[in-house]
Amino acid sequence: MSTMELTKDNFDEIVADDGFVLIDFWADWCGPCRQFAPVYEAAAERHSDLTFAKVDTEAQQELAAAFEIQSIPTLMIVRERIVVFAQPGALPEAALEDLIGQARQLDMQEVRASATTPDDAAQAAEPTTPSDPPASSGPASSA
């Protein structure tokens, strides 16, 4: 499976239907984004069981703002509607593969339980909209 374009119109459907979504926030004018694109596309081909989405930050400014994107490229991983990883910068292929492996191994019950407040836990369980991005449990460690 190749990557798909994520927009405010299809966001809920894609993130709700797929339990594991990688999101690449990018822009056409961004050199590092263009360098990361083939690495991301190749990972999408290798991991056809996962959803690989791309958000053009110029065309989808509402989505970029909802996720507080300050720098591109930014990679996010959303599992069960919870942001489990978010980091700006292009990753080399080996680092992306390692990150995908770590995200696959996450115990999502533990992730939900680690929400800092009961409100966070409730929000993590509720559907979200582009104006209300998935709850974040913080970036995954790269250890």
Question: Other CB atoms closer than 10 Å to residue 33's CB: what's the count?
Answer: 21
- Annotated active-site residue in 30, 55, 72, 106: 30
The phi, psi pair for 27, rounded to 5°, reads -145, 150
Q: Is residue 33 among the annotated active site residues?
A: yes
- Annotated active-site residue in 22, 33, 78, 135: 33
- Order of strands, sheet of 74-79, starting from the edge strand that comes earlier in the sequence: 4-5, 51-56, 20-26, 74-79, 82-88, 135-136
Cα first-last separation, the chain: 29
Q: Is residue 76 among the annotated active site residues?
A: no
Nearest-angstrom CA–CA distance, 41 and 37: 6
| Residues acting as catalytic residues | 30, 33
